């Protein structure tokens, strides 16, 4: 029997409903996408961008220069920013749930350090030269998957994919792979190798091309879709593995599946864009602040906000020090850190168990 006086007055959470946030983010995404096509070494007016896009879509011919800049360079680049940003944010949500750790980012599973070994081998020693333009991506992907496989194998051999074990093994093996990559750079006779490796490691979308988009977009859509489909189980897993088991969630299988999906997703993302820091760490937290912690809401919101965020990061990377481009991780770190700290301070936010 609780009367009104009985009930302590407490503030409920200030969350926004996902059905409101998602359309807003979609509009933001469309606007940001068009803006991204306009910005660059050759600034284009909105009208020129819209004309060029419209001409393509309606099949009429317009200004050929604008058409090439817009359609062959900036549109694929913008689409890649959308796909990679969305993928990193989704992977961040997944990894933070898998290891129950708010500091986890998509590269925790050794994927990015492994990719850097592959990429460095390609850049410094011309490994995989037969693959031509794809050598760097293929090398990075092979390195990423190899590293993930090693982390998986070691964790399983030591008793299973428990959160603490994954964090420790991932961190330790990442350090080892980074050391190997550094050694390769050190041994290289090519003086430009170090800079090329550094630029790649810090992430860039400058290599965007139409032919790589289907694979990356497919990976993000399929794996993101599978994660959304498993959101009820992920909610239980995020509570605690014990609780999830009592609630009938096949915890071992879920962890194994999650690991494989995340390693594949991040491996593909690293292969096309290098390792872009901060997106996969921070956007999941911002999304949870916006719509709460249920994965069914967090995953789509994280994907959209990650896409919008990376579009603007890439715009800044292109125009900040024209005509050279700066690596994406430089921008994500410089904007992301203060934004995140302000958000953490403004709103009450915690992650994981409250004990």
Partner 1 sequence: MRPLTAPVETQPIQATDDHLTVSGLACAAGKRVVLRDVDFAVRRGELLALVGANGSGKSTLLRALAGVRKPVAGEVWLDDVPLRTLSARRRARAITLVGQEEALPADLVVGEMVALGRTPHRPPWAGGDATERAAVLAALDQVGLAYAVDHPVEQLSGGERRRALLARGLAQQTPLMLLDEPTNHLDLRHQLGLLRTVRGLGKTVVVAMHDLDLAATFCDRIAVLHDGALLTIGTPADALTPAVIHDAFGVLATPVTHPVTGRTHLLFSADETEPHP
Q: Which residues bind partner 1 (CB under 8 A)?
A: 1-2, 7, 10, 12-13, 228-236, 238-240, 242-251, 288, 292-294, 296, 349-355
Provide, rounded to whole angstroms, the least separation between the CB of residue 307 and partner 1.
Answer: 22
Residue 61 backbone dihedrals phi, psi, to 5 degrees: -100, 135
User: What spatial distance separates the first Cα and last Cα of the chain, rounded to whole Å?
Assistant: 30
- The minimum distance between CB 256 and partner 1, in angstroms, equals 14
Q: Give the distance, in angstroms, between the CA of residue 205 and the centroid of all CA atoms in the same chain.
A: 13
Minimum CB distance to partner 1 smaller for 196 or for 234: 234
| Contact (CB, 8 A) for 311 and 82 | yes
Shortest distance (Å) from residue 11 CB to partner 1: 8
Q: How far apart are CB 197 and partner 1 at their closest, in Å?
A: 39
User: Considering beta carbons, is residue 121 or 290 the nearer one to partner 1?
Assistant: 290
Q: What are phi and psi of 162, to 5 degrees?
A: -80, 155
∠ CA(309), CA(342), CA(22), 5° rounding?
Answer: 40
Q: Which is nearer to partner 1, 191 or 248 (CB)?
A: 248
Paired tokens of 256: 């194994």
- CA dihedral of residues 210, 304, 284, 149 (deg, nearest 10): -30
d(CA 308, CA 333): 16
* Cβ 4 to partner 1 shortest distance, Å: 9
Query: Is 282 within 8 Å of 336 (Cβ atoms)?
Result: yes
Q: How far is the CB of 210 from partner 1 (least distance, A)?
A: 32
Nearer to partner 1, 105 or 235 (CB): 235
Contact 85, 331 (CB under 8 A): no
Smallest gap from Cβ 199 to partner 1, in A, equals 38
Exposed, middle or buried: residue 323 (CB in 10 Å: 0-12, 13-18, 19+)? exposed
Nearer to partner 1, 1 or 130 (CB): 1
Task: Report how far residue 46's alpha carbon sits from residue 237's, in angstroms, rounded to the nearest whole number.
Answer: 46
- What is d(CA 145, CA 267) in angstroms, rounded to the nearest whole number? 6
CB of 352 to partner 1, least distance (A): 6
Task: Return the number of the residue (286 or 317) whose C-beta is nearest partner 1.
Answer: 286
Which is nearest to 302 in space by CA: 314, 316, 292, 317?
292
Q: Based on CB atoms, which residue is closest to partner 1, 49 or 302?
A: 302
The residue (of 297 and 315) whose beta carbon lies closer to partner 1 is: 297
Could you give the 3-state DSSP secondary structure of residue 219?
A: helix
């Amino acid at each position: 029997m609780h009367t009104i006086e009985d009930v302590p007055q407490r503030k409920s959470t200030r969350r926004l409903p996902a059905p409101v946030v998602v359309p807003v983010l979609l509009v933001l995404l469309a606007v940001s996408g068009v803006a991204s096509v306009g910005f660059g070494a050759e600034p284009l007016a909105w009208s020129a961008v819209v004309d060029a896009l419209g001409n393509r879509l309606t099949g009429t011919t317009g200004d050929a220069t604008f058409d090439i800049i817009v359609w062959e360079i900036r549109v694929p680049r913008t689409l890649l920013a959308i796909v990679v940003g969305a993928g990193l944010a989704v992977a961040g949500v997944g990894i933070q749930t898998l290891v129950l750790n708010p500091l986890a980012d998509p590269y925790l599973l050794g994927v990015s350090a492994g990719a850097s070994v592959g990429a460095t081998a390609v850049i410094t020693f011309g490994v995989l030269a037969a693959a031509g333009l794809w050598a760097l991506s293929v090398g990075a992907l092979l390195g990423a998957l190899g590293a993930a496989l090693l982390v998986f194998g070691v964790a399983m051999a030591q008793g299973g994919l428990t959160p603490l074990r994954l964090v420790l093994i991932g961190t330790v093996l990442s350090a080892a792979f980074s050391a190997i990559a550094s050694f390769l750079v050190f041994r290289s006779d090519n003086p430009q190798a170090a800079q090329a490796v550094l630029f790649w490691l810090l992430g860039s979308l400058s290599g965007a091309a139409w032919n790589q988009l289907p694979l990356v977009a497919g990976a993000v859509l399929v794996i993101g879709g599978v994660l959304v489909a498993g959101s009820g189980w992920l909610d239980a897993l995020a509570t605690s593995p014990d609780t999830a088991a009592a609630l009938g969630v096949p915890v071992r299988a879920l962890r194994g599946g999650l690991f494989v999906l995340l390693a594949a997703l991040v491996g593909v993302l690293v292969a096309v864009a290098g390792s872009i820091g901060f997106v996969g760490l921070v956007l999941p937290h911002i999304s949870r602040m916006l719509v709460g912690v249920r994965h069914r809401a967090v995953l789509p919101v994280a994907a959209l906000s990650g896409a919008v965020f990376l579009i603007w990061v890439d715009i800044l990377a292109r125009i900040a020090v024209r005509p050279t481009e700066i690596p994406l991780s430089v921008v994500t770190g410089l904007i992301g850190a203060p934004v995140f700290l302000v958000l953490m301070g403004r709103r009450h936010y915690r992650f994981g168990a409250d004990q």
